[in-house]
Amino acid sequence: MKRAASGKPTGRASATSSNSVKGVPVSSVLNAGLIGAGRIGRLHASNLAHHIPRARLVAVADVVEEAARQSAAEHGIPKAVADYRVLLDDADVQAVVICSATDTHAQIIEEAAQAGKHIFCEKPIDLTLERIDTALAAVDRRGVVFQIGLNRRFDANFRRVRQAVEQGEIGRPWQLHIVSRDPLPPPLAYVKVSGGLFLDMAIHDFDMARFLIGSEVEEVYAAAGVLVDEAIGALGDVDTAVTILKFANGAIGTIDNSRSAVYGYDQRVEILGSGGMISTDNNFPNSAVISDGRAVHRDLPLNFFMERYTQSYLAEMTAFVDAVLDGGTPPVTGVDGRLAVVLALAAQKSFRENRPVRVSEVDLSRD
Amino acid sequence: MKRAASGKPTGRASATSSNSVKGVPVSSVLNAGLIGAGRIGRLHASNLAHHIPRARLVAVADVVEEAARQSAAEHGIPKAVADYRVLLDDADVQAVVICSATDTHAQIIEEAAQAGKHIFCEKPIDLTLERIDTALAAVDRRGVVFQIGLNRRFDANFRRVRQAVEQGEIGRPWQLHIVSRDPLPPPLAYVKVSGGLFLDMAIHDFDMARFLIGSEVEEVYAAAGVLVDEAIGALGDVDTAVTILKFANGAIGTIDNSRSAVYGYDQRVEILGSGGMISTDNNFPNSAVISDGRAVHRDLPLNFFMERYTQSYLAEMTAFVDAVLDGGTPPVTGVDGRLAVVLALAAQKSFRENRPVRVSEVDLSRD
Amino acid sequence: MKRAASGKPTGRASATSSNSVKGVPVSSVLNAGLIGAGRIGRLHASNLAHHIPRARLVAVADVVEEAARQSAAEHGIPKAVADYRVLLDDADVQAVVICSATDTHAQIIEEAAQAGKHIFCEKPIDLTLERIDTALAAVDRRGVVFQIGLNRRFDANFRRVRQAVEQGEIGRPWQLHIVSRDPLPPPLAYVKVSGGLFLDMAIHDFDMARFLIGSEVEEVYAAAGVLVDEAIGALGDVDTAVTILKFANGAIGTIDNSRSAVYGYDQRVEILGSGGMISTDNNFPNSAVISDGRAVHRDLPLNFFMERYTQSYLAEMTAFVDAVLDGGTPPVTGVDGRLAVVLALAAQKSFRENRPVRVSEVDLSRD
Amino acid sequence: MKRAASGKPTGRASATSSNSVKGVPVSSVLNAGLIGAGRIGRLHASNLAHHIPRARLVAVADVVEEAARQSAAEHGIPKAVADYRVLLDDADVQAVVICSATDTHAQIIEEAAQAGKHIFCEKPIDLTLERIDTALAAVDRRGVVFQIGLNRRFDANFRRVRQAVEQGEIGRPWQLHIVSRDPLPPPLAYVKVSGGLFLDMAIHDFDMARFLIGSEVEEVYAAAGVLVDEAIGALGDVDTAVTILKFANGAIGTIDNSRSAVYGYDQRVEILGSGGMISTDNNFPNSAVISDGRAVHRDLPLNFFMERYTQSYLAEMTAFVDAVLDGGTPPVTGVDGRLAVVLALAAQKSFRENRPVRVSEVDLSRD
C-alpha cells in the first residue's frame, strides 16, 4: 500500500501551520477521540489521558453510552456519546482510536478517513481481504496517518530480537520459533465472532514473524486441533495450533499457539542464525527465587496481555501520536495489518485442507 | 515515634470535611509543593504531575529560581519560586516534598510541620541524631503525616522478599546478604558533603535490612577500604565496605557496598531461613539471551537508580498521597529514617575503631 | 517386536546356572566383544572396560586391524582382530556391541543373533525397513537380548521430562518442541553415506518424541532447506529442517534440526500440557556467570555429543548389561529402533513431496 | 612448606628408573594403600580402583577390620588389614591415602613419611598448629609428595572463578562472598570431636578464599550463633557463622556458613573486581523447569558433597597420582592445609572474643 503522492493535506504538525485536514487545527498536542470503551479501549484511554503528554482525549464514543460516560468520568474526557459519527463530525477531534467490535473496523476506517481523521485501529482491520482493501484505499485517498494496533512490536524483548537480526548479531536468520499461549480461552461468545484462533490470536504471531525475520512468508502449513475445550471445537474453531512458515529468504519458522497455559501468558521467541541464537523469556512480576524443602521456585509470569504488554501499548500509542504530530511514517502500517490477516487466512486454509498453502493462493496480489 | 494522641487536626481526607490543618481544605486530591528541583526532585515532580491521579503539583521552589521555573514549565506547575517559605505560607499547599540539599532537610521539616504541611522528605533526615530528633519532635507536635524517602521498600523484588519472611515462606530468618553497588562513584564534590559511604549510600541498605528481617540491629561491624579511587580516600571517605549486622532475633546479616560496578547498578538481597532461602536478581532492560560463537550473553542490568527504581519512586509517592488523603499510617516513618542514620553512624564508628559497635553506643535512647 | 514365547534359552544370569545360549556361560559379569573401534566404539570400550563393574571387554574387532589393536592396548582388552566373526565364534563372548558402519549393522545383527550373542547395536539398525525387519526377525527367533543405541533416553534432563509426563506433573501433553542442532556439519564424506539429515540426525529426535509423549506419531510434515552449506545440498541432502508430528493422542510436536549452531550442541525439549509446561536447557561446563562492562555472560554449552551425553552413554550400556545379566527387558528395543527409522523415512518423503505424510504410507504394517 | 633442596630421592616415575624411596619401585602405575574405609575412604577407593587408570589400590586398612574387608571385596583390593602399619611396611605400597579419624592424621603422616610413602591426606591435617608443623616437618625431611584433600579447588565452577581472577577477566578483586551451607547438621557425636564449625566446615571456605583471591588473609572477624539446633550449642559449638576476611591485597571477603539448608547443599561464590563480577550457582541433577498453576520451579540442587563434588574428588586424586608419577608439584600442599587451619583458629578466636583477630596472633610464624 503506497502512500498516495498527490500532496493531499495530512494535517500533521510538521507541516506548515496553515495545513489542516478537514479543518483540524495543527498544534503540538494531538486531540484524540476514542471509539469503543471496552477493555482495550479503556487501556488506550488511560494512556492517552495520563501518560502521553502530547495527547489529549477530547471525546469518547461507545454504542453502550453508559460505557462511554464511565470512561469519560474516569479520565476527565469532556465529551461522551453513543454514536462515533459525532466524533467524526467534531472539528476538535484530529485522530480517532478505533477499539470497537472487529466487524465495525472497516466501516469506521472508511468514514474516519473520509472525515480527514488520522486513524489508530485495533487489529484486525477486518476478517476479509475485500473489506480490508476497500478500507485501506479510503485511507490512501485521504492521506491520513494510519496505524494498526500490532502492539507486540513495541515490546522490549521482541524489539531486542529485531535489533539483533538487523544488526547482524546472530548472522542470517535460519529458524524462528514463536510461542504464543493465552492463560485461558476467551468466552465462547467471543470465539463465535472472533474469526477463529488463526485470525484472532495467531495474527499477532504472524506479524511478529514478519517483523523479526524481515522477510515475507511465502508458504504456510498449519496443524491444529481441539485439545483444551471441546466446546470450542463445537463452534468450529480449534484451540491448539502449530504453524510452519517458509520465508522468502529461506528461513523456516514455527508458531506454537494454545488457548490455555495454566502458568499464565506465554510469549517467547527464539531465532537461530548463521552467527548465533537469540531467545527471550516471559516477563515476571519480580525476580525473587525461593528454595525450600521441595523445589527452587519463582512466581508465575505476568498473567495476560494487559500486564505483559503495558509498556508496549503505551509505546505504540506514543509512536502514533508522534507520527501524526511530527510527520514520520507510523511504525506499523495498513499493509502490515493486511498481511497479518493474509497469513492467518492462509494458515486457516492450510489447516482445513491439510496441505501446505502458498500465500499467493490467498492473496492474489502476490502472484 | 508515636503519633501524638492529642487529637490534633491532621487535615486528612478521612477526617470529617470540616477538619483542616492550618486551613488547608480537605479534598480528594492532594495539592503538593515541591522543594528542590534537582535530579530527584524532577523525578518526583514528574510522578506527582502526571502519574498520580490523586495528586496535583501546585508549586515548586528551588534556590536556583531558574531550576524551579524550568520544572514548572515542563510539568505545568502554576507557581515557581526561589524561597520555599512561599510554599509554606501558601494555603493551597497541603503537603511538601523535600528534595533540597541534605543539610537543609531538618530545618525545612521543622518549618513545614510548624506550618501544618504534611511532609515527604528525601533521605537522610539529617546526618546528626540531635537535628533528627528536633525535626521529628516538631513533626510529632503538629501531628502532620511524615514519610521518609526510603524508596527501595517499594521495589517489587524486595517487597516479595519481605512478603516471604512475613508469611513464613522461608521460616525464621537466619542469614541476610545484601549487595548494593553503584555503577560508578559520585562526583568528588558530592563525596565531600554526603557524609560518606555509610551515611549516603549504605543508609538504604541499613533500612532494607531492618525492613526485610523485621527485627532491630543490635551490633554492627564494618570493614572498609579505598579500592576504587584514591581521590575518595584523600577526602577521608571509603569506596568499598562490608558490614556485619547482628539482629535482636539472632539473625546475622552482611552488606556488600561498592562505589563502582562496571556492569551497572547491583541491587540484590538473599535471606536464608529455617524453611528455605529467597534471593533476588537485578532488573534488566529485556530478557533476550544471545548465544554466539563466544558466549551466552545478555544485556547489562538497568544502569542506575533512576531506571531500576522507577516504579518504586512512583509507589512511594502514591503511598504518601494515599496516607495523607485516606488517613493511613505512612509506610516509612520518621523513626525508620532515624534508625537508618543510627546504623550508618554505628557502622562508621565500627570501621574507624575496627571493633564491633553496639547500636546503643550511638543511640543512647536504646540502652 | 514380541519376545518369542518358545522358552528359548536366553543365557541370562537370572536363569538357572545351567542355562546358556550357544554355550555362553552364565555369570555375574558380562563378557562383551566390541565390533567397530571408531569414535563411538572407543567410547563404549572405555565404559565397558573401566566404568561398568559388571562388564568385561574380552575382544575387539575392526576392519582396520590396527584400530582394534590400539583399542585393545588402551583398555587392556585381551583379543583384537579384524574379522568380527572371530568374536561370534568365541564362546567367551556373551554379547556384542555393534559400532561398525551403518550398512553392516543388519548383517552383523543377523549373524550375532544366529550365534546366540546378546546384541547392543548403534542406531540406526539399517536405512531400509526390509533389512531392519529381517534383522529383528533373526533376533526374535533366537530370543537374544537386543538393545538399540538411542542413548538420549538416558539423559538426566530428558528422563526428567519423561517422568513429568508419566507422573502427570504437566497433565495431558498438548504440544512438544524439540531443538536438536549440531555445532557444525559432519564431513561431506559422511553426508554421502549417512542416509541424510532425517535418517542420521533427526532419528534421535523422532525417538525422543515417541519416548517423551508416550504416544505414536501418525502423520508428519517436514519443511527443509539448504541454508548452512551448499555443498550439502549438492549431495542431495538438506542441512536445516523443521518437522511437525501429529500424535495419536492429539498432541502436536515440532522438531528444529540444524547442522550448524555456532554456540555448540543445542539439545533441548519443551512440552506444554493441560497442567503445565516443562522445558530443559543445555548442559554447561560450569555455572559461572561474568558481568563485565559489556554484557552478562557465561561459557558456551558443552560442545558436542561426546561431552553432553557422557553420562547417558554410560547409563545405556549399564542398562544393557543389567538387562542381559538380570533378565529385564532392555529399555530401548528393536521396535523403538525400527520406528525411529520409519518416522525418518516419512519425514524425508514429506519433505520431498511437500505434503503431510501418514506414517502408514511408509510402514505398511501400521495400516 | 618449602620442599627440601637436599636431593632426597622422591621415587617419582619421572626420575630415572633406578630412583626409589624406601625401595618402592618406579612404574607408570601408582600402587596405593587406603587407610580408613569410612564414607570418604570408600569414595577414594572407588576412584582409585575404577576411574584412575594410572592408579591401583593394593591394600586397605581400617581399625574396624570388617570395614577393610568389605571395601576390599567391593573393589577387588588384594589386601585388607586392621593395622595401617602393615601398609607402611609393604614395599608394594608407594603411596597412602589417609582417610582415618582426624586425630590420627598427624601421627600417620609422620610414620608414612618416615616409611617413604607419598601421602594424600584428608583435611584437616590436625586441629593444632603444633602437631601440623611436626607432621609437615616429617614430610619435608623425607621429600615425599604430600597433598591435602581440599577437593573443592578442583570443582569446575570454582576453577572457572579462579581462572577469571588469574586471567584478569574481572580486573583486580575487591569483594568476595562465599556461601557454604550443609543440608543438615552432622550427628552430635561428630560435632563433639570435629573441632567445631570453623575447623570442620568453614575450613574448606577459608582455603577457597585464599585460592580464589590469590592473596593471603591478614585479619578475620567472625560473628556466629546457635540458630539451627540448641543441642549443638550445648556442646559448645555454633551452627551459623558469618566471617569477614581482610586480604593483604585490600580485598574484603565474607563467608556465610550454616549447618542447615533445607533445600540442599549450598555452595556458591561471587567476586566483584575492578573489571566485573563473577558468580557461580549450585549444581542441579537436571535442567528441567516446570511451570504449573502455582509456580515456575525446578528440582532442588544436588543434596550433599558426595553428589556435588563427585568430579572434584576424582580430579584431586588424579592430580595426586599424576604428581607422584610425573614429578609435578601437588596442587594443594601441606602449607595450604596448614593455612586453612590457621584461619579457622583465628575465626574461632575472633568469635569467642568478639573482636577482629590478626592472623599473626594465631600463627606466630607470620609476624
DSSP per residue, D177-206: EEEEE-SSPPPHHHHHHS--HHHHTHHHHH
Confidence at residue D365, expressed as pLDDT on a 0 to 100 scale: 77
The one-letter amino acid code at A175 reads Q
Mutate to test the interface with A, among B28, B162, B292 (most CBs of A within 10 A): B292
Mutate to test the interface with D, among A268, A286, A291, A300 (most CBs of D within 10 A): A291
* Partner-chain contact A297 D296, CB within 8 Å: yes
* Partner-chain contact A242 C244, CB within 8 Å: yes
Confidence at residue C51, expressed as pLDDT on a 0 to 100 scale: 87
pLDDT-derived band at D364 (thresholds 50, 70, 90) equals confident
Quick one: cell of C236? Answer: 542431495
**Averaged pLDDT, A247-272:** 98
| Residues belonging to chain D with any Cβ–Cβ distance to chain B shorter than 8 Å | 171-172, 174-175, 177, 179, 181, 221, 223-225, 227-228, 240-242, 244, 246, 250-254, 256, 258, 260-263, 266, 272, 274-277, 354-356
Which residues does chain A have within 8 Å of residue C250's beta carbon, measured at their own beta carbons?
A: 225, 227
Q: Which of B160, B282, B286 faces A288 most closely, judged by CB atoms?
A: B160
CA distance B58 to D81: 91
**For A157, nearest residue in chain B (alpha carbons):** B286
* Partner-chain contact B298 C298, CB within 8 Å: no
Which residues does chain D have within 8 Å of residue B242's beta carbon, measured at their own beta carbons?
A: 175, 244, 252-254
Confidence at residue D12, expressed as pLDDT on a 0 to 100 scale: 39
Q: What DSSP designation does C220 have? A: E
CA distance D309 to A216: 51
| Residues belonging to chain C with any Cβ–Cβ distance to chain D shorter than 8 Å | 50-51, 53, 156-157, 159-161, 164, 169-170, 275-283, 285-293, 299
Strands A95-98, A118-121: pairing is parallel
* Partner-chain contact C169 D290, CB within 8 Å: yes
Instruction: Decide if D147 contacts D119 (C-beta within 8 A).
Output: yes
Q: pLDDT tens digits, chain B, 367 residues: what are they?
A: 333 333 333 333 333 333 333 333 345 899 999 999 999 999 999 999 888 989 999 999 999 999 999 999 988 899 999 999 999 999 999 999 999 999 999 999 999 999 999 999 999 999 999 999 999 999 999 999 999 999 999 999 999 999 999 999 999 999 999 999 999 999 999 999 999 999 999 999 999 999 999 999 999 999 999 999 999 999 999 999 999 999 999 999 999 999 999 999 999 999 999 999 999 999 999 999 999 999 999 999 999 999 999 999 999 999 999 999 999 899 999 999 999 999 999 999 999 999 999 999 999 776 5
Q: What DSSP designation does A263 have? A: T
Helices (H) and strands (E) in chain C, counts: 14, 15
Instruction: Decide if C219 contacts C205 (C-beta within 8 A).
Output: no
Measured in angstroms, the CA of B261 and the nearest CA of chain C are apart by 8
Query: Residue D275: which residues within 8 A CB-CB, separation 6 or more?
Result: B262, C292, C293, D168, D169, D170, D171, D172
Q: Which of C172, C179, C250 faces A225 most closely, judged by CB atoms?
A: C250
Which residues does chain D have within 8 Å of residue A302's beta carbon, measured at their own beta carbons?
A: none
* Partner-chain contact A221 C260, CB within 8 Å: no
For B71, list phi and psi in degrees, rounded to 5.
-60, -45
D115 has a pLDDT exceeding 80: yes
Quick one: cell of C13? Answer: 544370569
| Residues belonging to chain A with any Cβ–Cβ distance to chain D shorter than 8 Å | 261-264, 291-301
Confidence at residue A9, expressed as pLDDT on a 0 to 100 scale: 32
Mutate to test the interface with C, among A252, A297, A300 (most CBs of C within 10 A): A252
* Partner-chain contact D295 A293, CB within 8 Å: no
Residue C277 parent element (H or E): strand C276-279
Measured in angstroms, the CA of C235 and the nearest CA of chain A are apart by 19
Q: Which of B161, B282, B292 faces A288 most closely, judged by CB atoms?
A: B161
**Model pLDDT for residues D256-305, shown as the tens digit of each residue:** 999 999 999 999 999 999 999 999 999 999 999 999 999 999 999 999 99
Confidence at residue B366, expressed as pLDDT on a 0 to 100 scale: 64
The C-alpha angle B344, B346, B352, rounded to 5 degrees, equals 105
Residue A28 burial (C-beta neighbours within 10 Å; 0-12, 13-18, 19+) = exposed
Which residues does chain D have within 8 Å of residue A283's beta carbon, measured at their own beta carbons?
A: none
pLDDT-derived band at D367 (thresholds 50, 70, 90) equals low
Confidence at residue B238, expressed as pLDDT on a 0 to 100 scale: 98
Confidence at residue B27, expressed as pLDDT on a 0 to 100 scale: 57
Q: Which of B264, B293, B297 faces C297 most closely, judged by CB atoms?
A: B297
CB pairs under 8 A between A and D: 44
Q: Which of D179, D262, D276 faces B263 most closely, judged by CB atoms?
A: D276
Instruction: Decide if B182 contacts B260 (C-beta within 8 A).
Output: yes
Instruction: Decide if D161 contacts D280 (C-beta within 8 A).
Output: yes
Measured in angstroms, the CA of A162 and the nearest CA of chain D are apart by 27
Q: pLDDT tens digits, chain C, 367 residues: what are they?
A: 333 333 333 333 333 333 333 333 345 899 999 999 999 999 999 999 888 989 999 999 999 999 999 999 988 899 999 999 999 999 999 999 999 999 999 999 999 999 999 999 999 999 999 999 999 999 999 999 999 999 999 999 999 999 999 999 999 999 999 999 999 999 999 999 989 999 999 999 999 999 999 999 999 999 999 999 999 999 999 999 999 999 999 999 999 999 999 999 999 999 999 999 999 999 999 999 999 999 999 999 999 999 999 999 999 999 999 999 999 899 999 999 999 999 999 999 999 999 999 999 999 776 5
Q: Which of C262, C293, C300 faces B263 most closely, judged by CB atoms?
A: C293
B323 alpha carbon, distance to own chain's centre: 17
| Residues belonging to chain D with any Cβ–Cβ distance to chain A shorter than 8 Å | 261-264, 291-301
Confidence at residue B299, expressed as pLDDT on a 0 to 100 scale: 97
Q: Which of B293, B294, B297 faces C296 most closely, judged by CB atoms?
A: B297
CA distance B306 to B308: 6
Reported ipTM: 0.91
Q: What DSSP designation does C284 have? A: -
Confidence at residue D25, expressed as pLDDT on a 0 to 100 scale: 38
* Partner-chain contact A292 B275, CB within 8 Å: yes
- pLDDT, chain A, mean: 92
**For C294, nearest residue in chain D (alpha carbons):** D276
D21 has a pLDDT exceeding 90: no
* Partner-chain contact C279 D288, CB within 8 Å: yes
Q: Which of C171, C228, C272 faces A258 most closely, judged by CB atoms?
A: C272
Which letter, b or e, does each residue of A160-169 get, where b requires 16 or more Cβ atoms within 10 Å of its Cβ? bbbebbeeeb
Decide: helix, strand or coil at residue C59: strand
Q: Which of B263, B291, B293 faces C296 most closely, judged by CB atoms?
A: B263
Instruction: Decide if A92 contacts A58 (C-beta within 8 A).
Output: yes
CA distance A156 to A267: 12
**Model pLDDT for residues A168-225, shown as the tens digit of each residue:** 999 999 999 999 999 999 999 999 998 999 999 999 999 999 999 999 999 999 999 9
Which residues does chain D have within 8 Å of residue A263's beta carbon, measured at their own beta carbons?
A: 291-293, 296
**For A181, nearest residue in chain C (alpha carbons):** C272
**For D299, nearest residue in chain A (alpha carbons):** A295
